[in-house]
Copies of this chain bind each other. A is one copy, B any other.
Amino acid sequence: MSIDEQLMTKRRILSAARRLFHSPGYQNARVVDIATAAGVSRATVYNHFVDKEAILRALVEDYLSGYARISESMVEAADRDESIFAVLLRMVEDALAWRVANADLRPAIEIARQILPDAHTAANRAADDALRKQLADVHRRSVKHGIVRPDIDLNYAATALYSMIEAVLSSFDVGSSEAEIKAVAEQLTLLQWYAVYTISPEVAPNLGS
């Protein structure tokens, strides 16, 4: 059996698990169901994952690693010397798009938070911090321009933005249309902008300046 086929097997198990963890849910998805859906036997599942939990862990880690990639792309974006608002907007868009693309993973991630207290938190913090660091950077540079409201704690502002990105998914049930995502991203960015900055988005200074 080739190495490619091994990877395929693992991927098919993950894919089946992802589908079944979304519905009928992690608890109701039996290992044998995942195996059958992946076209393998139960034993094979245990050849690739020590645990049903390990499958969950793998899914969550895959998801969180996507976050890290977003923050990397942001670093590059920063080099292109765009306006602060544009940078924020891109960031929100990217994060939102990633979440939408992985909306079916939400239940799994919530479960992971429950039953993988340490593992999840560790990986999650890593991913969150990647994004948070970027936002903190934007904020810090903004302060130099004297455009940040003096009575706003930027930590809360950052948390607010993230939680909104999160919440907007479950509340508004955003479709996968790119246009929709853009519209929502703009709204969220505007909210963040007005909450934090004293000037209009149109006159936002460049990040690099």
* A206 interface hit (Cβ, 8 Å): no
Instruction: Name which of A30-38, A71-79, A136-144, A183-191 contacts chain B.
Output: A183-191
Contact of A168 (CB < 8 Å), options: B110, B152, B156: B156
A167–B162 contact, CB under 8 A?
Answer: yes
Q: Which applies to chain A's interface (DSSP): helix, strand, loop or mixed?
A: helix
B26 near A114 with CB under 8 A, answer yes
Instruction: List A residues 159-182 near B (Cβ within 8 Å).
Output: 159-160, 162-164, 166-168, 171-172
Contacts of A187 in B (CB 8 A): 152-153, 156
**Using Cβ atoms and an 8 Å threshold, which residues of chain B touch A167?**
159-160, 162-163, 166-167
Q: How many copies does the complex hold?
A: 4
Give the residue name and chain of the B residue nearest to A149 (CB): B194
The 6 closest A-B pairs by CB, nearest first: A163-B167, A195-B195, A163-B163, A191-B195, A160-B164, A156-B187
25 A-B contacts (beta carbon < 8 Å): A25-B115, A27-B114, A107-B114, A110-B110, A110-B113, A111-B114, A151-B190, A152-B194, A156-B164, A156-B168, A159-B168, A159-B172, A160-B164, A160-B167, A160-B188, A163-B166, A163-B167, A164-B164, A167-B167, A191-B195, A191-B196, A192-B195, A194-B194, A194-B195, A195-B195
